Amino acid sequence: MHEGHEQMFRRRFFVSTLLSIPVLLYSEMLQEWLGFSVPTFPGSEWINPVFAVIVFAYGGVPFLQMAVPELKDRAPGMMTLISMAITVAFVYSLASVVFPTQSAFFWELVTLIDIMLLGHWIEMRSVRRASSAVDELAKLMPDTAERLTEDGETEEVPVSELSEGDLVLVRPGASVPADGVVEEGDSDVNESMITGESKPVSKEPGDEVIGGTINGDGSLRVRVGATGEETTLAGIMRLVEEAQQSKSKTQVLADRAAGWLFYVALGAAVVTAIAWTVAVSFDATVIERVVTVLVIACPHALGLAIPLVVAINTSLAARNGMLVRDRIAMEDARKLDAIIFDKTGTLTEGEHGVVDMATVDGVDKDDALALAAAVESDSEHMIARAIREAADERDLSAPDASGFEAIKGRGVRANIDGSEVYVGGPNLLSQLDSEIPNHLQHFADKAGQNAQTVVYLVRDGELIAAFAMADVIREESFRVVDALHELGIEVAMLTGDSQDVANAVADELGIDTVFAEVLPEDKDKKVQELQDQGKLVGMVGDGVNDAPALTRADVGIAIGSGTDVAVQSADVILVQNNPMDVVRLVKLSKASYRKMQENIVWAAGYNIFAIPLAAGVLAPIGILLSPAVGALLMSLSTVIVAINAQLLRRVDLSIPELPSGTPATDAQPAD
């Protein structure tokens, strides 16, 4: 719609400006002011009215047409004001042809229409560019795909013909045509356009890929899992479009002010007409003052002040992996007093990891870890996975194991190099009647104080090592707590874990408030507790288990939802599983609201000073504005508001360097 209006105003501006040249050349007033003359000929006196009528019909009538819906809705606005201004000028000028004693201002009429068309062209161009997020997302999806047939050959088909279960070939550098799972191949995929993650993500068989992302140097065979409106990209496009169409509190206020401005302008025009008629009698000067008031009061800047910021805000958010479902929540994020984080999977990795280990004399820690990994090689328990991952991180080779056996409630056993090796918790030691050496007992006691789980390695009945396991705190969590504290926001943590475990994590991160041993159905009550203290509360969770709490919170933020962009309980969805994006959200909310305020102040302030000036309050000192100058000032105010909104693109959303020196994730610019 914006692109169509932009082209229409652009075309009519150039044609109307060209048709205005004869009117300007044959205007007696301009000839006198500028000291030039043009040849006259029989009928030349009709040049001004004829060309003015053409310009009015071609360039002015569209404003009248767009005013009709405003009048039908009983919500007169800028189009009604513009229509009144050019109609009054047009009718009066035509009347001057019938009554030659009256002076016309045809040149003012055509220049007024020209400048109005120029202003609207610039406005539509700004809005179209800012609202291009959905169009840019749509361009990510390729038109065709290479589908693999049963005989192994490839056929090029339109993406719209793909079905769930199809196998497609994604060549190096090509776009992934649909959501799916990699069946064959290894490659790095650029997902920055979807998640905001600047680094390519490694993909191998079993990994999910998102339609519209760009494949790297490897070749992938992908089994299609979702197509059309079911894809991640389609879901993101729906959310972005909904966000751009929704209104914030500030926009509602601006719309109401723009509506009232019509009546203010109309009243000012009536007062102006009466005052000037009394002062100088009714003539062209009175009409000129009235037209100037109506033109200069057009709430262009006020009408553009908020929607343009909203469009840029939504585009910038989407480019950085933040999908806004509720504009009011986005605006409220700047005022948050407290943010509650769900612990598991948000502040922590959501998986157990080996955080420390100890061995008896004569046993190397790497050897003990490799031995434990060998015993756990056939187990799918989360502790087994954690031990294997710890061994992989150290590039340890686990020896061959045989005779694997799971001992219910106690641990596992296996035979390795002729030895019987066990891995398990305290219950295993009780069964084996193994004694714990003093220094391993001290290690276990210390781990218990830190709310860590301890598992033991026993070889041929002798306890040789102990491993401390914990849900590993995410590296980013330390920085996010510090960053939110710097913004003056209280940080709380919500978890179903024991109080000891919760306190250990909270103490390490510096969290202000801890809610532990909370059942999923009671999480929303903890949000209510903080709200009852008069705080505006944000809730950060996974969007599934935390749905009641996300709904209860003033701002519900779903994090780590990955490709699930239809989290109905959240106001804002963070595509990446990165808690630092919460800081980005608050910073973007503050910056956007600041731009809204600046634009409102400029737009409202412009009208406060411009309307009296247009009415002629400075006429006693010789300062009078013509309708064309009034139109130019009105258009200039619109351009200033548009430029100020564009400066939002410069907001710094980059993530500061993390404590370990890990490079920060770069923020993505708006389209």
Task: Quote the crossing angle between the two packed helices 78-98 and 284-296, to the nearest 10°.
Answer: 160
Assess contact for 319 and 134: CB atoms under 8 A. no
Write the single-letter amino acid at 466.
A
Distance, C-alpha 183 to centroid of its chain = 32
Those residues with Cβ within 8 angstroms of residue 251's Cβ, 6 or more apart along the chain or in another chain: 306, 307, 310, 327, 596
Give the closest residue to 175 by CA, choosing from 135, 150, 123, 211.
211
Q: Where are the alpha helices (DSSP H) in 161-248?
A: 192-195, 232-245
Give dist(CA 477, CA 348) in Å, integer: 8
Q: How far is CA 86 from CA 13, 93, 114, 275, 390, in A?
A: 15, 10, 11, 21, 77
Q: What is the DSSP secondary structure assignment for residue 193, as one 8-state letter?
A: H
Q: CA quadruple 598, 115, 70, 62: dihedral positive or negative?
A: negative
Coil vs helix vs strand at 179: strand
Q: Within 10 Å of residue 496's Cβ, how many Cβ atoms?
A: 18
Task: List residues bridging with 300 in a β-sheet.
Answer: none
Tell the burial category of 262 from Cβ atoms under 10 Å away from its Cβ (0-12, 13-18, 19+): buried
Query: What does the buried/exposed string (b/e) look like for 396-434 if buried means 16 or more CB atoms within 10 Å of the residue's CB?
Result: bebbebeeeeeeeebbbbbebeeeebbbbbeebbeebee
Write the single-letter amino acid at 443.
F
Give dist(CA 473, CA 476) in Å, integer: 8
Range list of β-strands (E), 149-283: 154-158, 167-170, 179-184, 187-190, 201-203, 208-209, 214-215, 220-226
Q: Which one is catalytic: 114, 332, 342, 542? A: 342
Give the closest residue to 410 by CA, choosing from 424, 421, 398.
424
Tell the burial category of 48 from Cβ atoms under 10 Å away from its Cβ (0-12, 13-18, 19+): buried
Q: Within 10 Å of residue 246's Cβ, how many Cβ atoms?
A: 17
Write the single-letter amino acid at 372.
A
Give dist(CA 500, CA 498) in Å, integer: 5
Assess contact for 420 and 406: CB atoms under 8 A. no
Give the closest residue to 48 by CA, choosing from 40, 289, 61.
40
Q: How far is CA 164 from CA 95, 161, 224, 257, in A?
A: 70, 10, 5, 51
Q: What is the DSSP secondary structure assignment for residue 656, as one 8-state letter?
A: P
Between β-strands 490-494 and 513-515, what pairing exists: parallel, antiparallel or unpaired? parallel
Determine the Cα angle at 99 with ends 98 and 105, to 5°: 90
Q: CA quadruple 417, 423, 429, 430: dihedral positive or negative?
A: negative
Q: Is 400 a catalytic residue?
A: no
Write the single-letter amino acid at 215.
N
Question: Catalytic residue positions?
Answer: 342
